[in-house]
Amino acid sequence: MNPDAIIECVPNFSEGTDPVVVGKIVAAMQTESVSLLDWSLDTAHNRSVVTIAGPPAAVIAAAVKSVGKAAELIDLTRQKGVHPRIGAADVVPFIPVSGISMAECAVLARQAGLLIWRTYGVPVYFYGAAAARPDRVQLEDVRKGQFEGLREATRRDSSRCPDIGGPSLHETAGASAVGARNFLIAYNVHLHQPDISAARAIARDIRASNGGLHGVKAIGVVANGRAQVSMNITEFQITPMRHIHSTIKHLAQRHGVLIDDAELIGLIPEDAYEEGADWVKQITGFDPALKILERRLEQPLAWPTV
């Protein structure tokens, strides 16, 4: 492996209302040579997203520690939120940045999953490029039923059991989906009217799985009392952000609603950024220096102290 390789890891945690808990999880990730690029709490979805980057071995160590701290602090039997989840540390993806291939990131994900189980007793499902089975490539297939449904399924159906650990889920921390993938853009659009039926219809129309836009995963939800089209964009090179935005705007008008504003969760790669584009202008508080991965690498955040 290239000694100068850099990878990104974007773990998602099933807690977005308690900044003290999330701060402790982020602080536990502090590891020499690992840069903290972004972390945010989403109260509406009760979820937090952290972005770190650095040499592969160090990033793996940081990610594994975060799973242990999340398992210690988050009890899924008490946690509720609109975002699908199966674990306290719900998703732990590894993304190649420079000097490393996707295949190598998949190997790293497998290594991280084994460490998570051996160190903290949290079982692991592999997804994306690290998937051990074809029916687990897609994250939504892994998370089918969420924590509660998956917990019951593993007790009666061996085909739903984790790839490592188990066969049951951790009693309070569930399981973690660990994988390797390309850059993903988490992009949410709010409608001016609180019409959840319109948000769901728009999400249905743009979802790739429904024959919509290539590389777009979308659901319609209510977030902080607002109708939201919540999206993960996995192929922005093929389906540019401007096209996604214009399509949503057109569909919103068809359903008699208007777009209000939008938000980005986490960072975007430089190649996805389009200065002055309408989709950028509608993102509340967008600052390229803070939200573009390559620029953030040059000026990482300070690690929180707890």
Tokens for 144? 């089918």
Angle, vertex CA 65, rays to CA 171 and CA 172, nearest 5: 10
* Single-letter amino acid code for the residue at 49: V
Pairing assessment for the beta strands 89-98 and 176-180 based on DSSP bridges: parallel
Residues with Cβ within 8 Å of 139's Cβ and at least 6 positions away in sequence, in order, are 91, 127, 128, 177, 179
Decide: 130 and 106 in contact? Cβ < 8 Å.
yes
DSSP conformational letter for 227 = E
Catalytic residue (choose from 83, 170, 190, 245): 83
Residue 15 tokens read as 């807690």
Measuring CA to CA, which residue among 151, 145, 95 is closest to residue 123?
Answer: 151
Cα–Cα distance between 220 and 205 in angstroms, integer? 11
Q: What percent of the chain is helix, strand and coil (3-state, nearest 5)?
A: 35, 25, 35
Q: Which residues contact 285 (CB under 8 A, 6 or more apart)?
A: none
CA angle 255, 85, 116 (to 5 degrees): 150
Q: Is 255 a catalytic residue?
A: no
| Beta bridge partners of residue 52, listed in sequence order | 9, 36
User: Cβ contacts of residue 224 below 8 Å, gap of 6+?
Assistant: 43, 44
The strand pairing partners of 187, in sequence order, are: 231, 264
- Catalytic positions: 83
